[in-house]
Amino acid sequence: MRIRILRLLRDGERSVSQLVRASGERQPNVSRHLAVLRARGVVSSRKEGVTTYYALSSPKTIRAFDLMREALRESLVRKAAEAGMPTA
């Protein structure tokens, strides 16, 4: 869920209700994960009236996420090749 939230925030700030709609998750679940991400400094929040908006605290977060995903993909391809499995 947290990875999904990061992906949704990759293109900019979103409100909690926008994140709920885009993720298909229930609001309490999204809010719980946002609270963890905010406590860790991964996302920042701002209030506008009764609406809370979230954004990535740093664009480096997405770069790091992309690098980790790429490294994991390379590892899976390498392991599949070692096992003689076809890779796509």
Q: 74 and 48 in one domain? A: no
What is the pTM assigned to this prediction? 0.76
Q: 8 and 43 in one domain? A: yes
Q: 41 and 24 in one domain? A: yes
3-48 pLDDT per residue, tens: 899 999 998 999 999 999 999 999 999 999 999 999 999 999 999 9
Q: 34 and 6 in one domain? A: yes
- Domain range for residue 88? 58-88
pLDDT tier at 87 (50, 70, 90 boundaries)?
A: low
Q: 10 and 34 in one domain? A: yes
Q: 38 and 17 in one domain? A: yes
12: left (phi over 0), alpha (psi -120 to 50) or beta: left
Q: 40 and 11 in one domain? A: yes
Q: 69 and 40 in one domain? A: no
